[in-house]
Structure 1
Amino acid sequence: MAEFNENIWAPWRMEYIRSLGDDVIGESGCFFCAYFENPTDDQSHHVLWRTEGALVMLNRFPYTNGHLLIAPRRHSGDPSDFPIEEHHELTKLTYDAVKVVRTAFNADGFNIGCNLGRCAGAGVPDHLHYHIVPRWNGDTNFMAVLGATRVIPDGLNAAYERLLEAATQLGFVD
């Protein structure tokens, strides 16, 4: 049973944390909050679309091509702090994001979820957000987690453009 007690290293997470300088994090100390404060920077921040209460964006450090994040405007890492209406909006955006990724990348399946707390793997534990991770038959599974290797065939800007085109085509972006 010792194999279950070994560490799993994810060194790219530290790259991510260190990359969030003051220019990205802003005065709030949270990049999600900073992105809400600066809608004119949506393209450079890879925000695909936003609603009054949430945003849908490309993950800058994806597990797979087309890995999206959905974050509410409210700054809290505790789901119980959110009224049910805000959970409904996040769920609706999750459905919409799946449609967009499926249209843009022909994903066969998805892993959808959130990590609550740093010990659960949350890189931003104080701001609830959901991961939409596209999957394909025969893909690398969770090689990124278990083997510290990520296979991502497309650059962020190219993926952003494909997703933005699909989101526009589906009516989520004007």
Structure 2
Amino acid sequence: MLIRMTSDPEQQTGAGVPDAFQRLWTPHRMAYIQGENKPTGPGAGDGCPFCTIPSLSDEEGLVIARGEWVFAVLNLYPYNSGHLMVVPYRHVADYTELDGAETAELAAFTKQAMTTLRGASGAQGFNIGMNQGAVAGAGIAAHLHQHVVPRWGGDVNFMPVVGNTKVLPQLLQETRKLLADRWQG
């Protein structure tokens, strides 16, 4: 939920002392900072969200598309609107552990994700990658996942740099539906 606070008491929708600043509150980020939904260990049965998501409905799990070996899912803590991940069903940590069929479908889903995001949102570029291991920045290092982050000219402004906040113009459920409806497998 986004709460806007202004210096005008009649327009104020958040708590706090009014001043000359407008604030965008992003309380959902605290869940990420505090490690919510992080596995308790490296095993598939240790609360891995990527092992749990396939058993949920597409809407509840934010799943965009399902394949035989991998699935595409929105990132619960996105860098940009449309930030999704391609994830193998099998609980493996390292890219070299994928077999040929998993590797091929992961590549095909990544290409389809780019096509879908270009069609749905006019993405002008992408950051695509995997963080292999906790020391490389993987938030969930025990289960491989590839990020596909759409980018647009001017999509970085002062908010992430100064305010440590990313403003997203669309709710995750709306983004999931838009992308799922455009996905062509």
Aligned length: 154
Q: Distance between the aligned counterparts of 1:112 and 1:157, measured in 2?
A: 22
1:107-160 CA distance string (max 9 Å, x none)? 000000011111211111000000000000121079648862212111111111
Report % sequence identity: 38
Secondary structure of the 1:18 match is: coil
Unaligned runs of 5+ in 2: 1-28
Structure index of larger Rg: 2
Q: Distance between the aligned counterparts of 2:140 and 2:158, measured in 1?
A: 20
Alpha-carbon offset, residue 165 of structure 1: 1.8
Q: Which residue of 2 aligns with 1:29?
A: 47
Aligned pair partner of 1:14 in 20, 25, 33: 33
Q: Distance between the aligned counterparts of 1:21 and 1:120, measured in 2?
A: 17
1:37-70 CA distance string (max 9 Å, x none)? x15x221111011111110011111000000010
Aligned pair partner of 2:64 in 22, 45, 48: 48
- One-letter code aligned to 1:111: N
Q: Distance between the aligned counterparts of 2:127 and 2:36, measured in 1?
A: 26
Alpha-carbon offset, residue 21 of structure 1: 8.8
Higher share in helix: 1
- One-letter code aligned to 1:102: R
Q: Distance between the aligned counterparts of 2:73 and 2:136, measured in 1?
A: 22
What is the TM-score of this pair, normalised by structure 2? 0.74
- One-letter code aligned to 1:105: S
Determine if the alignment matches structure 1 residue 97 to structure 2 residue 116.
no
Unaligned runs of 5+ in 1: 1-9
Tell me how large the CA RMSD over aligned residues is: 2.6
For residues 69-88 of structure 1, what are the structure 2 equivalents within 5 Å?
A: 69-88=85-104
> Are the equivalent residues in 1 in contact too, given 2:37–2:49 (CA < 8 A)?
no
